[in-house]
């Protein structure tokens, strides 16, 4: 072979080698990246080519699938009582993606999870259509209905937990939205999405997990726990050294009380009528760093509370001054909490000081209902001893039986609670938030702890906004629903 031909042959060989290397690079190294690119419509078409698995409450699905007309995406998601369950399910939209359980458990719901490989393989031989698995939640249907109806047209949220396990029993946020309204990819879906996205009501925000509020006087339960745990108080019925007026440390500013009889009031009496001065004094005596320590054991400053949907971190400031700590000890200043966080506070007290990690997925199952994954309850922390938890329980029961929480009382059941009216806005000019946290206890233990926040009570005047008046009846309805459903 002469020299020019040999050069051409070598050049052609190099071209073939380059093509082989490129083909192998695309097929094996870059395959996953290319398959999951947003621009790859074949992946999206395949994703909606079969019916999606369901999210289940009790023994009934709260989701479904329907054939899409005039689209190359065959199936779209449907929802039963969508607005009520949206804070649990999130949404799955052909045009706008997915959120919450729909996003986090997408592999199971679409049938693409590696744990469903055997089911997919068998289907290839039997000719059965590909099916998604199911997500079985911990939610209690009756409790969810009670919470949703209780909030009604008000802006707000409810979170309810089983203190014994951490299982989430109710998760409601209002105003809500219907995920079915934009599950497709038509102009109608786009219009519904834009209206929701731009709405001043923030209906797409899950207020139970993703909105933080000043917790107001409900935080006094944490301050009481800190005072007991750090030895500032041992006898909850003994007088404290709180003067009237109580001057915030390092300032000339008196702490305002909205109740009478707060001078030297005991911790028990102070919680019953919600004395700001006593708990500001207790927070100062505990000190900022030890208040932070106790708050963090309850879950504050923890940015990784996954239910599996991640909740926003609740905050107790680590760097504030003494007077800031005193104000934060009554749930004001820089203190901020999600409704889930305050339900965790009530749950830890009800469970004799043991805080269980909150979760809302009980099982992941295959299409044939074989269990792929089972969630086991997990202890998260011990914010207070059993002895001190029982003292706080005594105080919270006193609030319901003799104090500001009477609207949560249930005949024949021990109920502990704490009201809160949280000021906010510049110079506290905005309507306050109405809070209530509580738990119910029977001879079988405590099956439910609840946190309710009413963010906007519609036409109710500022003077009529209170945790006992607005939020406590909702908490009562949720607790009654759980008690009734568990016999």
Cβ proximity of 245 and 254 under 8 Å: yes
What are 22's two structure tokens?
Answer: 């490129």
The whole-angstrom separation of Cα 223 and Cα 32 is: 51
Q: Classify 66 as helix, strand or coil.
A: strand
Q: Report the distance separating Cα 352 and Cα 344, nearest Å.
A: 13
8 A C-beta contact, residue 163 and residue 446: yes
As a whole number of angstroms, the distance between CA 99 and CA 429 comes to 35
Distance of alpha carbon 264 from alpha carbon 266, whole angstroms: 6
480 with 135: CB under 8 angstroms?
Answer: no
Which token pair is 163? Answer: 């203190």
Q: What's the gap between Cα 415 and its chain centre?
A: 23
Give the active site residue among 65, 180, 217, 277: 217
Contact 309/104 with Cβ under 8 angstroms?
A: yes
Q: What kind and span of H or E run contains 157? A: strand 155-161
User: Which tokens is 221 given?
Assistant: 């339960």
Can you list the alpha helix ranges (DSSP code H) found in 274-338? 276-286, 288-298, 322-328
R_g over Cα of the chain: 27
Q: CA nearest 364: which of 350, 375, 349, 379?
A: 375
Query: C-alpha 134: how far from its chain's center?
Result: 21
Phi, psi of 190 (to 5 degrees): -65, -40
Four-residue CA torsion sign, 91, 92, 98, 103:
positive
Please say if 217 is a catalytic residue. Answer: yes
Catalytic positions, please?
217
């Amino acid at each position: 072979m002469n020299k020019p031909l040999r050069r051409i042959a070598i050049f052609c060989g190099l071209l073939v080698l380059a093509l082989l290397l490129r083909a192998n690079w695309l097929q094996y190294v870059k395959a996953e990246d290319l398959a999951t690119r947003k621009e790859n419509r074949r992946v999206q078409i395949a994703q909606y080519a079969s019916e999606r698995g369901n999210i289940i409450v009790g023994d009934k699905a709260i989701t479904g699938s329907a054939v899409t007309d005039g689209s190359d995406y065959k199936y779209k998601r449907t929802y039963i009582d969508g607005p009520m369950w949206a804070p649990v399910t999130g949404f799955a939209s052909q045009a706008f993606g997915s959120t919450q359980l729909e996003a986090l458990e997408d592999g199971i719901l679409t049938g693409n999870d590696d744990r469903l490989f055997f089911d997919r393989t068998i289907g290839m031989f039997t000719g059965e259509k590909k099916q998604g698995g199911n997500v079985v939640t911990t939610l209690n249907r009756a409790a969810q209905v009670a919470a949703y109806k209780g909030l009604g047209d008000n802006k707000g949220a409810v979170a309810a937990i089983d203190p014994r396990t951490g299982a989430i029993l109710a998760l409601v946020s209002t105003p809500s939205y219907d995920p079915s309204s934009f599950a497709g990819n038509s102009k109608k879906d786009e219009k519904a999405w834009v209206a929701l996205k731009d709405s001043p009501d923030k209906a797409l925000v899950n207020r139970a997990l993703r909105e933080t509020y000043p917790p107001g006087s409900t935080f006094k339960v944490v301050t009481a726990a800190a005072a007991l745990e750090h030895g500032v108080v041992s006898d909850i019925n003994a007088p404290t050294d709180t003067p009237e007026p109580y001057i915030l440390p390092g300032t000339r500013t008196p702490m305002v009380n909205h109740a009478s009889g707060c001078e030297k009031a005991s911790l028990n009496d102070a919680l019953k009528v919600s004395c700001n001065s006593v708990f500001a004094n207790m927070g100062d005596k505990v000190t900022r760093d030890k208040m932070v320590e106790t708050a963090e054991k309850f879950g504050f400053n923890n940015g990784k509370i996954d239910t599996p949907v991640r909740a926003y971190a609740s905050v107790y400031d680590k760097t504030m001054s003494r007077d800031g700590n005193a104000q934060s000890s009554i749930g004001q200043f820089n203190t901020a909490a999600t409704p889930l966080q305050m339900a965790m506070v009530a749950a830890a007290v009800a469970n004799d000081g043991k805080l269980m990690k909150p979760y809302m997925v009980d099982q992941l199952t295959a299409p044939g209902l074989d269990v792929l994954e089972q969630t086991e309850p997990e202890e998260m922390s011990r914010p207070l001893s059993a002895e001190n938890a029982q003292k706080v329980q005594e105080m919270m029961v006193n609030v319901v039986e003799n104090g500001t929480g009477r609207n949560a009382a249930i005949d024949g059941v021990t109920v502990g609670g704490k009201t809160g009216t949280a000021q906010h806005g510049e110079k506290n000019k905005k309507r306050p938030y109405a809070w209530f946290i509580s738990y119910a206890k029977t001879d079988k233990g405590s099956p439910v702890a609840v946190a309710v926040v009413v963010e906007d009570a519609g036409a109710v005047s500022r003077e009529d906004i209170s945790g006992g008046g607005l939020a406590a009846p909702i908490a009562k309805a949720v607790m009654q629903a759980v008690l009734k459903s568990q016999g």
